[in-house]
Structure 1
Amino acid sequence: MNQVLRHIVLVSTCFLFTLDIYAQTVEVEGVVLSSDMPLPGASVILESGDNSTGATTNLQGEFSIRFIEEYPITIFVQFLGYESFTTSITSRSQLPVSIILTSSQIDLDGAKVETNSKSDVEWMNSIHKGGVYRGIKSSVIRTDKDIILPGEVQARSIFHKIPGVNMWESDAAGLQIGIGVRGLSPNRSAHLSMRQNGSPMSADPLGYPESYYSPPIEAVTKIEYVSGAGALQYGSQLGGMLNFQIKSGKFNSADEFRVITSGTAYSPLDKYARANYNIFAEHGSGMENSAHYFCFDIKKGEGWRENTDFDSKTFIVSCSQNVPNDYGELVLSEEFTLMNRLEHQPGGLTDAQFNLNPRVSFRERNWFKVDWRILRMGLDYKPNYSNWSYNLSAFKLDASRQALGYLGSPNRIDFGEERDLISAEFNTGGFDLRATRLWLKEDGKSFGALVMGVQGYHGLTHMEQGLADATAHPNFYYLNEDNLEGSDYNLPNSQIAGFTQGIINITDNFSVTPGVRWEYIDTRAEGWYRVRIEDLAGNTLEDSVFNPGLIVNSRNVLLPGVGFSLKTPNDVEFYGNAVANYRAVNFSDIQIQNLGVVVDPDITDEGGANFDLGYRKNGEKISWDVSAFMLRYKNKIGLYNTTIPDPILIEKPVFLRTNVSDARTLGVEGLVRTELFKSDFSTIDLLVSVSYMKGIYIDGETTIFTGNEIENIPNCTYRSVLTWTNKRTRASLQWNFVDSQFTDATNSLSEPNAVFGEIPSYNILDLAINHNLNQNISLGIKLNNALDNMYFTRRATGYPGPGIIPSDGRNIRLSLVFNNL
């Protein structure tokens, strides 16, 4: 037995010795880099014949693998977010190897549907900072590329790339952006989740989702719009999400300064010239591991109408830090926004007053004041050796708004009595934590993904209403602070939500995006309101204070959704989705005494769903995104004329805000860009944004509205921009057509007080040109409303009206830009 073992050992030793002779090994060493930075965790695979082995790079991006020395040896390198790399070596003299990877289209921060940077038609990347956008209707507006004139303030020139967007154009300098999509009201953009750098910026996103603050467009690098299908990630808004991405400093960059001076001039009014100006200054810089950006914006002057002077100041500062560590990539960011604004408001007009002279004002004592402060902090973390990434953001908002003046209908005279003062203080905060996992396929061209998120929010709104002094000055204080004539309410609300959404590849070209969101919402109201009843002679019959006690409305909401994306070999994508939506009713305006608007005490939440089916492509000569949609409402909230019991009048006419009916909006939206002409010196492009919508009330308890059109829906919206570009000059011609629309569920054509009625269709033509005088100075000029059409986009039920709020007539805007002087 021992002899047998000795023979086995001898034979084995000879075999190993022979193997070593005929199969020598070599230490394959090297480093994997990207832009001279090491890439830890990269996968390195060696192959030769039927033999293969692999390893991952260390923290310095280095690898060392012992492998059989049979040449050629193929080295295959993969790293998530970078193009795969393959090379071969034929001798030891080629070692060590230095491998440089280039960033691919698919990465954790921006996994793209396809390359779209060369076109004016751009949509959101499939994966971006913890968000899933594949199969969803979206649009990206790049301010430096899509806006001709620096210092632009016209909403129609900023948001023209969102098909069908309905805009309020009722202030002189873009002080407050009001937009609606798919037939939803533009009222202070309340049907959109309005965000700045991904965090909410509206007054109280859950309890009072109105936006009184808009960032200076020159401080914005891009605007991201996601349709209502984004509800799984952004919560209960039927209209979707609109995000203003503020500029930030760049690491390892030199100081950059820019100053933009711009102004608007109007034709004289009563022999007096009217104008306003805007001064914007910004600075950015960065070192190896830290960067900063700040800007300051001043808008001041007068608008087109009487009593439209304003003074607005905004300051934004942004800081970011790259935190070196042995565990992964960690970037911190902080932003602070401060804005205060004072506006003189001219009030509204009746239809007859507008037709006679739209520039006239019968209200010289109405004022509006806004103070806004937002603090945001962010954290982005990508661990080494992991396909996970994490994004955390938290925000704190402290703001207030005050409306002062005489709020009687425009057909009533202001006799100079004590004015109404409505004030609100908003104290809100929240967080958004997301985790993303990617599965990159071997070809490096397709991937699967899973995103999970948890969001929390708490807000407290304090609203008061009472009488202020009888002067014409902006004195925002109550005459009887301890005994208000109107109401005093605290409106706390809370929300906790969780969601998950994924990208599942069925084939290399077809994927589905299922998801679900759960929310717990708690809205409350506690306070009192006063009711005064007078007879026809003005004698007080009753003066009572009512305290309904604490009102609590808590509920759980589940929102499922699914989407798909199909890409063809010629780079066309078919996409679609079906996502449930939900919009929580709030108590914020229940007891505000405002032109007889009464809120139904039994009002309930709105429900609904968004459906999209689209077809898009990016090409060199022509690009498009065309889709059909349906927005389904359940218990849609609206206003209509009716009467309620009254102890004096028996039946009192009011505007009732309640759940009007179920409703449905069907539409087609299209964005097309084509290159009409191109030479060595210049190009001519045409961008067309068009939509056709039809919305009707279809069912509900209030059957009198069945078959009526939904308010705030212009059937046809058309905007086209013809752009000419050469090396130093850009010029554009923009034509805007917006069809007529109703403003209430009864489809009334006119009312004596002009609060409700039809908004007629209108055409607007704008011309703009911007020329670079040299590398550091540019000069621009724009003629707004070149045909001087008289039109309006808004009938207000309260401030800044009530009544028709006319839009600006013809005006000229000049812009002068200084870079790094």
Structure 2
Amino acid sequence: MKLKLKEFKSLAIVLFMTCSAYGQYTIIGTVTTEENIPINKVQIFDRDTGKVTNTSSDGSYSLASTRKEINVAFYSDGYKIKNITLNLTEGTNRLDVVLESFSEELSEIEISVQKRKVFELTRLRDVEQTAIYAGKKTEVILVGQATANLASNNARQIYNQVVGLNIFENDDAGLQLNIGGRGLDPNRTSNFNTRQNGYDISADVLGYPESYYSPPAEAMEEIQIVRGAASLQYGTQFGGLVNFVFKKPNPNKTFEFQTRNTLGSNNLFTNFTSVNGTKDKFSYFAFYNYKQGDGFRPNSEFSSKNAFAHFGYEFSSKSKLEAEITYLEYLAQQPGGLTDSMFNEDMFQSNRERNWFQVNWLLYNLKYFYEFSENTKMSLSFLV
């Protein structure tokens, strides 16, 4: 059978659109009042990824997702929040939502609770798997939506929305994170218990809690910050907890590749390369991050190599085993401190040539999670 040129072009366009749509889920619909009146500018929030969209003047909306299961929240001033969990089918899914208005007899207490729920859209839930955060002040930084220089781990930009942090920077590429809570020394984040995907990455949690390893921001999905000590859960540091949560494997692709290269002043060069995917019950995510530069002062050159690999196997919807390995090696020359008079004379000068700082970090983690029921869960984590 022969195809005419016009028919061939039409077939090619259809095939291209079909391939582009594969593995994508789209939700469309309208948001109305109980009287069937469209509501404009309703905030629609994907609670898992932080993606936000708004309804148009006719109440319609569209939200794209790469995950089959999605948790969505609908919010508008004067209406009750509506949380919906959806199991999506391939292609376009329709969801029309009706928001309930508050009654005129609404009390001040109920208004306060409503506003608190809205604010919690970017906070940790009271229970996250087997961790309890009820009663704690928490913040969640959605790294993918942050307007920040992720290639250089710019702490002032990444953490700028977290109230009460002291931030100290002493290098060009974010090799060392230095943050502290109100009134606490930020040096090496020693007053926070630092974790990666829920397990400790500091030198010694109780005896020597300084953190010498800072994960690359380009690999992170979010940063969880919990204020106040809680020794039974995550350590005795007065500042609280900082947990770096890495990106998850794409559940709809067997292989996904990403690479990014950055050039900057003072011979700065960074490379971030990652692969991830899911095949049946097996999933993986791995990255390699390289940084080098001369620094903005003499005798401040550095080079860093960071590698990470995550492997997961889902025995069932309630049982999963995960294994992770992290490697970091960096060498940085330190230009030395300056007195007030030296700083006033020349803030860029260096009086040391022999100061070097080297870090070699190797971590293994094995985690098993099992859900007995909706209210009973177990997790076992082994760290070397």
Match of 1:285 among 257, 260, 277: 277
Equivalent pair of 1:191/1:237 in contact (CA under 8 Å): yes
Structure 2 distance, partners of 1:387, 1:176, is 39
Structure 1 distance, partners of 2:301, 2:278, is 39
Structure 1 distance, partners of 2:218, 2:115, is 26
Confirm whether residue 375 of structure 1 aligns to residue 364 of structure 2: yes
Partner amino acid for 1:329? K
Equivalent pair of 2:152/2:172 in contact (CA under 8 Å): no
Residue 198 of structure 1 deviates from its aligned partner by 0.7
Please name the residue that 1:387 is paired with.
375
Please name the residue that 1:175 is paired with.
175
Equivalent pair of 1:262/1:278 in contact (CA under 8 Å): yes
Deviations 1:39-63 (A, max 9, x none): xxxxxxxxxxxxxxxxxxxxxxxxx
Deviations 1:575-618 (A, max 9, x none): xxxxxxxxxxxxxxxxxxxxxxxxxxxxxxxxxxxxxxxxxxxx
Residues 418-433 of structure 1 correspond to what in structure 2 (within 5 A)? none
Equivalent pair of 2:334/2:357 in contact (CA under 8 Å): yes
Equivalent pair of 1:141/1:222 in contact (CA under 8 Å): yes
Please name the residue that 2:328 is paired with.
339
Confirm whether residue 316 of structure 1 aligns to residue 304 of structure 2: no
Structure 2 distance, partners of 1:375, 1:199, is 10
Residue 119 of structure 1 deviates from its aligned partner by 7.5
Residues 551-566 of structure 1 correspond to what in structure 2 (within 5 A)? none
Deviations 1:731-754 (A, max 9, x none): xxxxxxxxxxxxxxxxxxxxxxxx
Confirm whether residue 161 of structure 1 aligns to residue 161 of structure 2: yes
Please name the residue that 1:194 is paired with.
194
Equivalent pair of 1:225/1:240 in contact (CA under 8 Å): yes
Residue 153 of structure 1 deviates from its aligned partner by 2.2
Partner amino acid for 1:341? Y
Deviations 1:55-113 (A, max 9, x none): xxxxxxxxxxxxxxxxxxxxxxxxxx999xxxxxxxxxxxxxxxxx847xxxxxxxxx9
Structure 2 distance, partners of 1:171, 1:369, is 14
- What's the secondary structure of 1:331's corresponding residue? strand
Structure 2 distance, partners of 1:124, 1:151, is 26
Residue 118 of structure 1 deviates from its aligned partner by 8.7
Deviations 1:23-46 (A, max 9, x none): xxxxxxxxxxxxxxxxxxxxxxxx
Which one has the bigger strand percentage?
Answer: 1
Structure 1 residues 356 and 228: CA distance shift in structure 2, 3 A:
same
Bigger relative contact order, structure 1 or 2, given CA contacts below 8 A and separation 6+? 1
Equivalent pair of 1:226/1:241 in contact (CA under 8 Å): yes
Structure 2 distance, partners of 1:144, 1:301, is 25
Partner amino acid for 1:387? N
Deviations 1:694-717 (A, max 9, x none): xxxxxxxxxxxxxxxxxxxxxxxx
Structure 1 residues 249 and 115: CA distance shift in structure 2, 3 A:
farther
Residue 391 of structure 1 deviates from its aligned partner by 1.4
Residue 121 of structure 1 deviates from its aligned partner by 7.0
Structure 1 distance, partners of 2:200, 2:114, is 29
Structure 1 residues 299 and 114: CA distance shift in structure 2, 3 A:
farther
Please name the residue that 1:245 is paired with.
245
Structure 1 residues 128 and 390: CA distance shift in structure 2, 3 A:
same
Residue 222 of structure 1 deviates from its aligned partner by 0.6
Residue 166 of structure 1 deviates from its aligned partner by 0.5
Confirm whether residue 123 of structure 1 aligns to residue 123 of structure 2: yes
- What's the secondary structure of 2:157's corresponding residue? helix
Partner amino acid for 2:352? R
Please name the residue that 1:359 is paired with.
348
Structure 1 distance, partners of 2:116, 2:331, is 41
Residue 114 of structure 1 deviates from its aligned partner by 8.4
Equivalent pair of 1:248/1:319 in contact (CA under 8 Å): no
Please name the residue that 2:203 is paired with.
203
- What's the secondary structure of 2:184's corresponding residue? coil
Partner amino acid for 2:285? Y
Partner amino acid for 1:391? S
Deviations 1:751-772 (A, max 9, x none): xxxxxxxxxxxxxxxxxxxxxx
Deviations 1:218-249 (A, max 9, x none): 11111000001544421211110000012231
Structure 1 residues 148 and 291: CA distance shift in structure 2, 3 A:
same
Residue 117 of structure 1 deviates from its aligned partner by 11
Structure 1 distance, partners of 2:211, 2:71, is 40
Equivalent pair of 1:156/1:167 in contact (CA under 8 Å): yes
Structure 2 distance, partners of 1:391, 1:284, is 24
Which one has the bigger helix percentage?
Answer: 2
- What's the secondary structure of 2:144's corresponding residue? helix
Structure 1 distance, partners of 2:150, 2:351, is 34
Equivalent pair of 2:229/2:237 in contact (CA under 8 Å): no
Structure 2 distance, partners of 1:288, 1:230, is 38
Structure 2 distance, partners of 1:127, 1:137, is 13
Residue 262 of structure 1 deviates from its aligned partner by 1.1
Equivalent pair of 2:291/2:304 in contact (CA under 8 Å): yes
Residue 336 of structure 1 deviates from its aligned partner by 0.4
- What's the secondary structure of 1:226's corresponding residue? strand
Please name the residue that 1:137 is paired with.
137
Structure 2 distance, partners of 1:247, 1:82, is 17
